[in-house]
Amino acid sequence: LCVFSSLQLVSLLLIGIAAWGIGFGLISSFRVVGVVIAVGVFLFFIALVGLIGAVKHHQVLLFFYMIILLLVFIVQFSVSCACLALNEEQQSELLEVGWNNTNSARTDIERNLNCCGFRVFYSNETCAADCLRTLHCRPCAPIMEEYSGMVLRFVGGIGLFFSFTEILGVWLTYRYRNQKDPRANPSAFI
C-alpha cells in the first residue's frame, strides 16, 4: 500500500505544481499545463487501480497495474537519464529549439527572467520584459542556460528516485499478486 501512496503523491504533486504555476502566472501555456495535469490524473487513476486491486486481491487489476507501472518506470527512467546526460551544448540546442517553436513560453520566459531575445534582441521583435523600458535588456539564452543545468539535474534526480520506487512497486505487486487470498476458502487450494 505504501507504493500506491507514493504514486498518488507524485500524481497529486504534478497536478498541484501545474495549478500553482498557472495560479501565480508563471506559466501561461495551457498546453504545457494541460499535459502535466493529464499525466497527474493518469498516474492518480493508475494508483487507484493498484490500490483497489490490492484491497480486493483482484488478480487482473494487479496485473494491469503491474504492466502499466513497468511502462511508466521505463519512460520515467529513460527521461531521467536523458536529463542527467545532457551536456551544455545539447542543453543550449534544446533551449533554442524550444525558444523558436513556442511563442507563449517565450513570452513567459521574457517576463519572468526580465530578458529579451534569445541571443540577440532585434528592434522589430516584441518583448514582454520590463527591462525593455530602460533599454538595458540582457539576452535570455545565458540566463536560461544558467538555470537549465540545475533544473535538469534536479528533475533527473527526482525522476530517478521515483522511478526506483516504481520498480519496487512492480516487484511488490508481482509478489503480492502471487500470494493466496487470505479471505479465500483454505480448502480450495488443496
Residue 27 lies in a domain: yes
Residue 10 lies in a domain: yes
Q: pLDDT value at position 92? A: 84
pLDDT at position 110, please? 77
Within a domain: 80? no
Which pLDDT score, from 0 to 100, does residue 37 have?
75
Residue 45 domain flag: yes
Q: 70 in a domain, yes or no?
A: no
Q: By residue range, what is the domain housing residue 25?
A: 1-56
Task: Work out how many domains the chain is built from and give that number.
Answer: 1
Does 47 fall in a domain? yes
pLDDT at 84 over 80: yes
Position 70, amino acid: L
Residues above pLDDT 90, as percent of the chain: 0
Whether residue 16 is predicted with pLDDT greater than 70 in this model: the reply is: yes
Higher pLDDT, 190 or 123: 123
